[in-house]
Structure 1
């Protein structure tokens, strides 16, 4: 609840990418956020919980790598209709076993404490753990030998969970978060009149747990107290304080304070402040080689107020670190990236190994499902799509050997030559702006094997475009046919001598030639039809308008 209005938060997953949706019912706004992982390793989200205050939604998730991640989402976004990207940061590492698949859950107790349900070690039993996320210490732990169902709730200072066949209630009150309390050095005093509460509660006689009518007033007092605590706004640093923190504080502290700062309402000098923040972060990177705040830099890029001309060092650092996730984000957000930098990004995208890409969190929205083949079914009757027949030989001078292997060529084009993550990176290159005269010299330095891989991917996209009448690809912001054709021409113009000398490129060049020739034939016939319709339109205009009825038969051969 925010200002007594309900807020609904739900998460979806598609192709390994996670999206958070925030629905506010007072304004009926639905905001979408792409959850980017700040870690290189890709993990599956198994459980999540959220707490809401006046400015932020703190989304905490338990992933398959056993870590707890936090994402700060503004309660009232500046642009609700736009799909925004937010970065997940690691709060706690390896709180549960990475092999655990069932019985895991996470619940927020207060601003500094969370409860985690799961197995801490691969061979251990399920356990309920209370963690202090401020000091990253384990506060309490309880084994659950009868197992759980992976459901955990916290209400009125009581933890509720299913343990075996029973609903177990464990009272737990969070202490004030301090270093002494986190290290267990506080002296605990117990009231002589206090009594121990059983873990398995009898609902008929459970007055001692705050569930009966005798303690209803106390429960209301607890609820009022918790509401007051939730409504307290977190302290947000000013721009000067944030710049000072960037020079001295830890990377984790800078990341948290930067997220809070970016979530508040923007002022008139927001562009200047963001430029100063980037300058401060990159300046410290040069002084301290071990300091690389990639999460902070990605948050700043997503503000959409930067450009390459304002911070060229940012892309240089990403190129130096071979950070393909940040390079993809820069290509999507910066409208003025020079052609030399675009080509440098292309070389990294083509040369990076598949193993490294598998561990990197990359936005693959522009890549559709390429599992469908170019020829889905072998029809008895031959179908020509957009005037192109892959089995038809339009090149009279082709070698007989290549003609005999035409079916092998069709089979090679049925699957995408690159992985979806590499395809998403290459699509970012296709969408980038360029000037041909400045780009061509830099394309000549691409190695031959990488050049062939890019050409094969472009040819594959061309075949996918030819499958439907609209000549477009499915997906969100996919490459257009003009972009695909332009890049094929650019690569061939810059490296035609090299491509001709590569034996593997011979079949690809012949296929491109046949495809272009068939398209020229199609456009020629379409041009004839267009001229015929124009002549018919002129004849219609010359007819006598007094005619009331007429029948016309039009035959096109």
Structure 2
């Protein structure tokens, strides 16, 4: 997930009139070598060094009156100096202790410079307007050396960016000639720049901005179009001999809500980008953070005044010129989660504990005593009061005892982990003890301390990735109670393991279910177990006629459900305890693409049983006219339908050929037809209401007295 955080103003900027007089306004915000410092080039004349967190300038330099900065100032990592170009060809180099740019090192180049690119551990690069690229140290050794012209006549550079790949610099820049766009790539090992052609947009839209990343010698070039589309093209770092250059393939990435005539695009993370475009509906500029892996909007912010449609990004902060100030907007980017973006995530109100990082850094930075749970504080104080000052055991000592102590002593040993001396690493200690127990269980088939494992799971400090052998062990032991708790507390259970748990819950014997400690309170309200409430298997006879559901291909299933009394409704196909376990699977996180292949491993009996239970849950929601079922799981009708679709997709051929599944498939077909008929009627009502709304809006043109005829059909 990605989110926008707090914002603050770094500095004031020139007014609109002053910006127009100074040509370009704000030219650049670049890193200044040290953490939390940036170089701001504005107004065409001034370069200022800022300490971002303190919001104060550390130094400011300006060129003389009549001179204009034409390239944003950058920091040269190899020399620790600042470099800027003014009046296209004059290059200035200075340090922090220099007071005036007029007295610092000066070099006049023989060609116009377009942009300076600074990379860590690499000499600064100078990109000339003719397309040539030189290292700064080579230029300073001979400033008047001839610079070749690579671009054709009337071809101009519009955007450029530099990277480091395999410890070698890489530069990509885009040029424009009439309506054509070209992409150039440069590496020191190339004998010349490699040229590629960008295809024109099919809808005739123009490109507003570019952004790029590099990985494994492949540049991913992203483009923001005036139509609101963001497209991507892969530019290989390979050499070719074609003079014109091959045409790149462009693929769609995402669609913004509105088209725009101006806009800015920047890459925040491997899976996240930010766009700044005008919002036509509200007459405001809007900053949006998008997940490019799943094409979802993560966060957005509207600005009260117009921005300059410029974006810079450094060290987890966005820099946005807004009105007459430069805003700094912090942001966070977490690794993109497939389960939360594409899959069906758990409900936020579910009772599962919050995700805890591997190491509690707040405890590591101090205040250990304040970070301890109240119960833990009391236990530590109790130890001191009973036996004086005594050291508590370490997790290594507990691990050693776990491998040799009898099973009856396991609860007391596990209890000691809450009093370990390495408390700042509490989660690591919990994980180590759990792995120790699992390891001994795998070596000794007779050893299985269920209560101790459940206590460790309930701590909320474990996850599947920390101890994957725990779930495998529970599956081998058919411990449905521990498996249920793992699914409730672990948010990173893989889809194949989730399917294995489903197979276990469907196939485990009733004897094992009855012996397990499973809370059935949440599902007891809609899972009826008594024989008196079950529907008789014989067809319902009304006035000498049997129910038409089994005889006709009728769609009026909902009407029949209203006629049939509650006492003769269909009985659940599973017992209450099995239903609770299946509900845990239904509310677990998963990705449909990854889960679907594993659902094909279910046996035909398990498929029919599970599909019958899903149908029963759907009927319960349908009878109660609700979108969810009561209970801690908060099982929704959407989750039921999603799982029903997955089971049908994965096992459709088996179900069609299975005789005992045909009655269930017929019933599902009737429900689908009834829903189609229902929504068809809703569409008619919607169309009628929209027509009435139009008539109402135009009825004001009538006189004081009028007669109107509304023809609906």
TM-score normalised by length of structure 2: 0.39
TM-score normalised by length of structure 1: 0.49
Which one scores higher on RCO, CA 8 angstroms, separation ≥ 6? 1
Structure number having the greater helix percentage? 1
**The structure with more radius of gyration:** 2
